Structure 1
Amino acid sequence: MVEYVTAEEMRALEANADYYGVSYGTLMENAGRKVAEVLRALYGCKRVLVVCGKGNNGGDGFVAARYLSMAGCPVSVILLGRASDVRKGPAAENLFKLRMAKVDVIDIEAAEMLTRELFETCDIIIDAILGTGSSGMPRGLAARAISLINNSPAIKVSVDTPSGLDRHTGECPMCIKPDLVVTFHAMKKGLERYNTEVVDIGIPEKAREYAGPGDLQQVKARGDFEHKGQSGRVLIVGGGPYVGAPTLAAMAALRTGADIVTIAAPQRAADLIASYSPNLITYPLSDRHLIVGADVDLLKQQIKRHDVVVIGMGAGHDPETLRALEEIVRLCDKTVLDADALQPGMPLKGIVTPHHGEFRRISGVEVTGDGREEAMQFSQSKGLVTLLKGRTDVITDGKQLKLNSTGNPGMTVGGTGDVLAGITGALYCVNPAFEAATAAAFVSGAAGDMAFREKGYGLLATDVVHCIPYVMKEYRQRRE
């Protein structure tokens, strides 16, 4: 069975690879070198014209041109646009290296500068115009270049995907008609109709197996929406014996980007929580000290008004409370179950976030190693996502599995699990469960690592909450 990777998945892998030590620049260098090696192996050292766009696909083309030139092949390069507009980073750096290698680069700034004659003096044309990051029909210089390349008698080789190929459907209403596609890491949709060679560009296995910035960049959060409420509404149900736990979950959900977070808690807890911050909305329940059966009816409308219910933090183990939590969970569609909601007989659904002891309590299974096998079997049998907390977190829906290595021993302090539940709830509002839980594990651990660098073993759960938006900003801004 052919393994396909989407454009979004590929960008996530590249971001994770960069995070785990194989930089974007190294990946581009490897990609261009592999293109050059494939061409020399198949066609020898012929006259080559490399047509490059201004993005990273063009950067791959710059590298390929440099390696072909170093091998003694006659090479010229057409850049569709001005050098100053080439994407900053590895693409611009490789254009500079190409010029330093004395390779002829022609900057084309207007369509009339693209003439048929430019494409008649070569044996091979490398198409490095548009990569998987492009969308829509090619326009302007790109459209003109595609037309001229397709009408050329030269051998046509596309880098990664033919320019103009629709990254979502694999359709090609106006694109390069290549004789060969050299694609990176894995097949992409639509390439099965072409003569395609898949090459390894050095993405480490850890980038696939472990959560990283790419998993965060894959999910939606505040900033991807225009109107209030679209970033998600989270209902926190907890508190009673403990007041801090639901407060930490709520603050974490807000810092992650949820628009509305409401804490439904017993009256005493609700009063204390409301006094903590004006950002917190509280909904007092019927009893002063505990969540009780009468609260089930009280919460029906609140549950309908929110996208996700995060439940269990600080609720305690009173038998009436546990019976009430069970009834509340049955009313919910999307839940994150944590702490005191992780009990035998609870109707588990959505996302569960147990540590190893809580996992044993709800599954009856003792965890060995990091628990990946046990968590996968449990998730598959229950039809839910498990975020098993530990030195290495395990996230699985029973089919997919991710590990997470962010976090540190300083996070054994009380309250960090409540923070993770809040982050998870915020992301789950607007994302699928597995993707939300994976990104949440990374964000929580990365925020903990940021706090640890400043506080050491004196870090508190509130320090982790404080660092959440900095992590979101640092790792999500690499998306474009």
Structure 2
Amino acid sequence: MTLSPSISQHLQKITLPDGNSHKGQNGKLLVIGGSELFHAASKWSLDIASKFVDMVFYASVPSNNELVREAKGAFWNGIVLERDEIPNYITEADCILIGPGMDRSAETKELVTKLVADFPDRRWVIDAGALQTIEPTQFPDGSILTPHQGEYDRIFNLLGGSMDNLLARGITVLLKGPSDYVYHRAAVTTITGGNPGMTKGGTGDVLAGLVAALYCKQEAETAAVVGSFINKQTGEYLAEKVGPFFNSSDLAGAIPEVFWRVLREVTAV
């Protein structure tokens, strides 16, 4: 495993749970996502996040909440909320991931716009449907954005062809692709790797969940760089075992093993 100096430095910044810590002290994440159309997307975000933080709260459309409740025992470790409970849990959570599986509807735009305006000082990771419906000026300072190329181009064009004002506000951009790019203020970190198996639906939702879980206790740039690197390293690990024949659930399941191995190699934990 060959690491760039930037990736190595960020891996060494990762802090592990204290041996004397108690429930809730190692991260609380709120995931707001899902829709009638994309009912499974946020499942992968929840699945991976539950492996890294103490508590995961989840809010979706009512029909999807029912689906989550039915499958919770088999798939998810967390607390399902109704949407009217979201404000109370935003103030409790260390970080909020919003967007996985959300559609590009007026309802999504209204919800996202209100929440980020009402709670601008929280740690936000903004993904997928949330990225596609609100204006760049509405992104909270210090948030992490996780666009694919099309979403990035939309933001770039709305900003008049420059991300400088966005980055000056402490916003971190994780551009997903064959190579990922993390933009944080004046720094750009390139993360290579991955394989055709990573084109499966849901791999971006896994990445968003991992980054958000890390952002609960790590700094934004570190969460984005390490999340991207571990996601791609896990894809390569799976490809060595089964070629391109794996899915997003396999990816989420293998990330803890790969993450722990990488941390032990880099930081001697």
1:336 and 2:125 correspond: yes
Higher helix share: 2
Pair 1:378–1:284, CA change in 2 (3 A): same
Residue 271 (structure 1) shift: 1.7
**Code of the aligned partner of 2:130:** A
1:9-42 Cα deviation digits (max 9, x unpaired): xxxxxxxxxx32xxxxxxxxxxxxxxxxxxxxxx
1:338 touches 1:353 (CA, 8 Å); kept in 2? yes
The answer for the alignment partner of 2:230 in structure 1 is 443
In structure 2, which of residues 214, 221, 244 is the aligned counterpart of residue 457 of structure 1?
A: 244
Structure 2-normalised TM-score? 0.87
1:400 and 2:190 correspond: no
In structure 2, which of residues 86, 107, 114 is the aligned counterpart of residue 299 of structure 1?
A: 86
Q: CA RMSD in A?
A: 2.3
What aligned pairs does 1:43-442 form with structure 2 within 5 A after superposition? 207-208=4-5, 211-212=7-8, 214-222=9-17, 226-241=21-36, 242-255=38-51, 257-278=52-73, 279-285=76-82, 295=84, 298-332=85-119, 333-343=122-132, 344-345=134-135, 347-349=138-140, 350-364=143-157, 377=164, 379-442=166-229
Task: Give the Cα separation in 1 of the matches to 2:13 and 2:215.
Answer: 13
Deviates more, 1:265-274 or 1:410-419: 265-274
Structure showing greater Rg: 1
The answer for the alignment partner of 2:255 in structure 1 is 468
Residue 303 (structure 1) shift: 0.3
Structure 1-normalised TM-score? 0.50
Task: Give the Cα separation in 1 of the matches to 2:215 and 2:97.
Answer: 10
2:152 touches 2:175 (CA, 8 Å); kept in 1? yes
Task: Give the Cα separation in 1 of the matches to 2:35 and 2:44.
Answer: 14
Deviates more, 1:357-366 or 1:467-476: 357-366
Residue 460 (structure 1) shift: 0.5
1:274 touches 1:282 (CA, 8 Å); kept in 2? no
**Which stretches in structure 1 are left out of the alignment for 5+ residues?**
1-18, 21-205, 287-294, 367-372
1:395 touches 1:434 (CA, 8 Å); kept in 2? yes
Pair 1:442–1:225, CA change in 2 (3 A): farther
1:63-97 Cα deviation digits (max 9, x unpaired): xxxxxxxxxxxxxxxxxxxxxxxxxxxxxxxxxxx
Task: Give the Cα separation in 2 of the matches to 1:358 and 1:252.
Answer: 23
2:125 touches 2:146 (CA, 8 Å); kept in 1? yes
What percent identity do the matched residue pairs reach? 29
Task: Give the Cα separation in 2 of the matches to 1:414 and 1:374.
Answer: 30
Pair 1:378–1:471, CA change in 2 (3 A): farther
4+ residue segments displaced more than 6 Å: none
Higher RCO structure, 1 or 2 (CA under 8 Å, sep 6+): 2
Task: Give the 3-state SS of the residue equivalent to 2:4 in structure 1.
Answer: helix
Task: Give the Cα separation in 2 of the matches to 1:389 and 1:399.
Answer: 19
**Code of the aligned partner of 1:253:** A
Residue 381 (structure 1) shift: 4.5
Number of residues paired by the alignment? 257
1:189-230 Cα deviation digits (max 9, x unpaired): xxxxxxxxxxxxxxxxx6225x35x53232124467622212
Task: Give the Cα separation in 2 of the matches to 1:316 and 1:407.
Answer: 27
